[in-house]
Structure 1
């Protein structure tokens, strides 16, 4: 009996060690999750490989395909749903008085959690990004449940704005239009995977464009989206998909502003956010495209959203983020509390 108990003990130890090795990176990642404030606002340093190269090699053409891949590769088979909401946002770029370049973004939606996610892929650029965990079902009232904790491991797949160590910054914004469904025989990417790909693999705007051209865009949330992409040199573009055709819109002045309407001539002004665009454009123009990080945050504050959806749900600015593309500093205000700015860095 003693010998049997001894072997049982050894088997249990081996089992525990095996489970520990299998989930090592997951446990290390979840151990880095820290609460910053009661929004709730969290931060995470992702540990290990989130299999982006494998995902891009396979390709995904819908949020459902992305969820299936995430369940297999990141959650050890636990099911997940990816639902990109009908968000309304503002982005712009500018230059500081010292010659650095900035990228700024308001994320507008109904109330929910927010998370800063740092990633350091083995074969890509280190980056920092803003994530809305509700895209994978993690809401403010369930964020501490064990199931929600596990779902946080999908965070690298759902960035909404961010900057990498090369200074490339990108934000994605919704357009109220038919979803983009390119089908040219290339591998597919979804909205947030395209953003993750750019953060991991592009050092400047030109590389970002070359990467996007290699994939068929299949947008999320049964809607259309466009991207603003800016780099450390001050170059900025807007990428839109008009009738499934990729359009690249360069700056026509010292800066570029984007909200939720088309800039492409074929559909110009279709959409919403003209009021927020005018507020941001006027503020930046007054400064001739030159402003400090705090002035960029003040511009985001002026262009914040405090409205409601037709069904009564709030449509308010959840976070405002300003990225310095030279120093790699990121300033964030959450829940429109512009008296409390949080400071982070890509490194």
Structure 2
């Protein structure tokens, strides 16, 4: 079943999305692409996915059933700290192939927004933002409140992924670790999401987007370390990642949550989601996102770089597809 895009409100399109709120600090770096954070449970990413997929409710007592995959520490105490340990962070999956840019965004359920923007000095764009950035923790936006409507307007500055009228598409994912370059005196400092807004507004191609990123210092304070997949209408794509104190540009069209700098193809393919994306060339784009979805996938979107439209699914409701269209003149 398809549902039409909802009406524009103050140049913003509000949809009933569940989004991903960033953790207060980045999780510990993994020692390998498939390693999990330290803790009592010793599981690879594939084992985590298999364990999560096995969970089911047997009756209303309630009685549950689960098959655990992986190792664990049978001697260490089970503490409140261990039980409160978060699962995967922004464990996103992104891919590009000619004319299509797809991504899953995975984290906690929070309100999100689809934004239409057509700035007077930049390109029109369509993007998705997590609006939990704009409100105190736990707050729920009230569209009848003037102050909340004003807060929501700021979502235009915090896109997590998007596409502009030139067909340039950009998305972010959590990186295991990053080492940003030293600050350049006099250079503007922007956040990890604000740089996406700048690319959507000012870049038409991958080379232009990369050159724009070189003109800014990034700041990941208060959130996870990030890397980016950028793709254009001409079929070019690149991953931008920060390591060893420099900005690294990697020729690739798939991005998950492994360190890309210095990794050869064999190393990348040890990551389950990267491997599924790389092997899914002939698969329908939304079906491919369904294949790499995780229990905490909140939205899945496919941008069509030729028609400047998009399809979005929220909270893994795969039969409920919303059609979106980039609009200009707003």
State the shift of 1:36 in Å: 4.0
Task: Please state how far the C-alpha of 1:245 moved relative to its aligned partner.
Answer: 0.2
Partners of 1:188 and 1:160 lie apart in 2 by: 18
Residues 178 and 222, structure 1, Cα contact 8 Å, conserved in 2: no
In the superposition, the TM-score normalised over structure 1's length comes to 0.65
Whether the 8 Å CA contact 2:116–2:126 is kept in 1: the answer is yes
Q: Check if 1:326 corresponds to 2:315.
A: no
Equivalent in the alignment of 2:280? 283
Counterpart of 1:304? 293
Contact 1:242–1:266 (CA under 8 A) maintained in structure 2: no
Q: Closer, same or farther in 2 for the Cα pair 1:188/1:326, shift >3 Å?
A: same
Q: Aligned partners of 2:266, 2:173: CA distance in 1, in Å?
A: 14
Match of 2:153 in 1: 153
Deviations 1:241-293 (A, max 9, x none): 10220001113xxxx1100111110799999x922212222222xx2xxx5xx
Q: Which has the higher contact order (CA 8 A, sep 6+)?
A: 2
Provide Cα deviations, 1:292-328, integer angstroms capped at 9, x if missing partner.
xxx100000010011xxxxxxxxx1110000111110
Give 1:32 deviation, angstroms: 5.4
**Does the 8 Å contact 1:184/1:216 carry over to 2?**
yes
2:135 aligned with 1:132: no
Match of 1:263 in 2: 260
Q: Give, in angstroms, the shift of residue 180 of structure 1.
A: 2.9
Report the counterpart of residue 91 of structure 1 in structure 2.
Answer: 94
Equivalence for 2:247: 246
Q: What aligned pairs does 1:194-213 form with structure 2 within 5 A after superposition?
A: 194-213=195-214
SS of match in other structure, 2:92 = strand
8 Å CA contact 1:113, 1:140 repeated in 2: no
Aligned residues: 250
Q: The residue matched to 1:283 in structure 2 has which SS?
A: coil
Taking a change above 3 Å as real, the CA distance of residues 140 and 162 of structure 1, as seen in their structure-2 partners, is: farther
The structure whose Rg is larger is 1
Does 1:219 find its partner at 2:199?
no
**Structure 1 residue aligned with 2:117, among 85, 108, 119?**
119
- Deviations, residues 120-150 of structure 1 (Å, cap 9, x unaligned): 1000000000111112227786121634333
Q: Distance in 1 between matches of 2:293 and 2:317?
A: 11
* CA distance in 2: counterparts of 1:267 and 1:154, whole angstroms: 40
**SS in structure 2 opposite 1:170?**
strand
Out of 305, 312, 325, the residue aligned to residue 345 of structure 1 is 325
> 2:188 and 2:239 mapped to 1: Cα distance?
22
Greater Cα offset, 320-329 or 184-193 = 184-193
The structure-2 alpha-carbon separation of the partners of 1:40 and 1:184, relative to structure 1 and needing over 3 Å to count, comes to closer
Q: Which residue of 2 aligns with 1:175?
A: 175
| Structure 1 residue 340 displacement after superposition | 0.8
Give the SS at the match of 1:320.
strand
Aligned partners of 1:297 and 1:322 also within 8 Å: yes
Question: Contact conserved, 1:324 with 1:330, CA < 8 A, in 2?
Answer: yes
The equivalent residue for 2:103 is: 105
On the 8 A contact 2:299/2:313 being kept in 1, the answer is: yes
Higher helix share: 1
Question: CA 1:40/1:178 → structure 2, altered by over 3 Å: closer, same or farther?
Answer: closer
Per the TM alignment, residue 116 of structure 1 is displaced from its structure 2 partner at its CA by 0.4
How far off is 1:111 after superposition?
Answer: 1.0
Q: Secondary structure at the match of 1:260?
A: coil
Return the alpha-carbon distance in structure 2 between the equivalents of residues 34 and 169 of structure 1: 19
Give 3-state SS (helix, strand or coil) of 1:149's partner.
helix
